[in-house]
Structure 1
Amino acid sequence: MPFKKPHHTSDKSCMKKDDDKFEILPRGLNIVWGNDSRYWRIPEEGPAELIQVSWLEVSGVVQITKAGTYSVSFEVKVKEDGFGWAGTDVLVMAKIGKTGKYRFQANRLSPGENIIPFKRLEIPVVGPSDLHFGLYEVWSGKWKGGLQIIKAVIQPLN
């Protein structure tokens, strides 16, 4: 039996680009433990659903071609039966290039919240660069579930 990778790897066909605005659907993201149905459900279409993890790591990379300030945001929903989010910061993080320094914006989630864009993170880009971004909660050690990821959006502010 061939080994199945435990993590979901980005499908570039699930990224929409309009000039320097990117809309990344769940299958266009890298999701740690995303290929394991005990932890995630990632359908061909629609939101990715977190079943349960203690290590939330959802990331991606886009190629920015124009200088400016960009916003990084995720659109998510926590189902009514979501758990493990109380008192826990979920971070949207981004950096320029593999060796860049991360910037981050903390967010709080609650079960039953409607679809919400997280507080956006703003990051300056000097010129053509890879923008690495993600959604993380890897510090609390709490088991979490019931999160739906609708999409990530990277777009210029100016």
Structure 2
Amino acid sequence: MNNSEEKHGHHWIADTNENLQVDKDMIVSIPARGLNISWGNDCRFWKFVDAPKDGSSGLIFLDAAELVQVNWLEVRGRIDLEHREKIFSPWKTYEIFYIIKFKNDAFGWDACPISLELKAPNGQKVKRSEHFERYNKKSSEDWHHVFGGEFSTGPELKGSRVNFAMLENKTSYWKGGMILHGVQIKPKNAKGLLA
């Protein structure tokens, strides 16, 4: 583990704010290692694998998190906007995308919807469900940019924070074969990312 990671119970704790990268279009990229993944430090459930170097996912990180098997899916992230005033602007709307793909032998995704949750800077909570089996039915080479919600900033960023999560913990169904490369946050209507 490096300094930004801490073993804590069944969670793998990482500091989202220390791992992000920003490109010239102000698109923020967070690697899988920069997210809090339940059971992420246990290789029976998750493992880190080499990521493609061809840029096909839209991310440049060297590795990705492969879900071996879980029946409790929980991936969380957090951005403290006030410490990122050179990246985020007041009075602007941003979108969050999870960058994922599925192996040929992926399983369990047709049994239950995945909950994508977001807590905006104003405290508003947004929740939507997504059926991942539609992505699983596509080629194992295809990366998918799954919309995780959007948030708007107010007149100032002081004290502003965004929390986001990808969850499925209401059933006992086992799921596996998903590869999570990371998360992207981009200004709404910005170029450079296909949803």
TM-score range, shorter chain: 0.7 to 0.9
Residue in 2 aligned with 1:124?
152
Gaps of 5+ in 2: 1-6, 51-61, 190-195
Secondary structure of 1:119's aligned partner: strand
Secondary structure of 2:33's aligned partner: helix
Q: Which has the larger share of strand?
A: 1
Moved more, 11-20 or 107-116: 11-20
CA root-mean-square deviation: 2.3
Matches within 5 A, 1:3-152: 5=8, 6-11=10-15, 12-18=17-23, 21-43=27-49, 45-64=62-81, 65=85, 66-67=89-90, 68-96=92-120, 100-110=123-133, 111-113=136-138, 114-126=142-154, 127-128=156-157, 129-152=160-183
Gaps of 5+ in 1: none
Distance 1:143 1:87 in 2: 9
Q: Structure 1 residues 101, 142: closer, same or farther in 2, change over 3 A? A: farther
Deviation at 1:20, TM superposition (A): 5.3
Distance 1:140 1:102 in 2: 22
**1:72 touches 1:92 (CA, 8 Å); kept in 2?**
no
Moved more, 14-23 or 138-147: 14-23
Equivalent residues, number = 154
Distance 1:15 1:43 in 2: 19
Deviation at 1:144, TM superposition (A): 0.6
Which ranges of 4 or more aligned residues in structure 1 deviate by more than 6 Å? Answer: none
Secondary structure of 2:71's aligned partner: coil
**Which residue identity lines up with residue 63 of structure 1 in the other structure?**
D
**2:97 touches 2:184 (CA, 8 Å); kept in 1?**
yes
Q: TM-score, normalised by structure 2?
A: 0.70
Q: Quick one: percent identity of the two aligned structures?
A: 31
Q: TM-score, normalised by structure 1?
A: 0.84
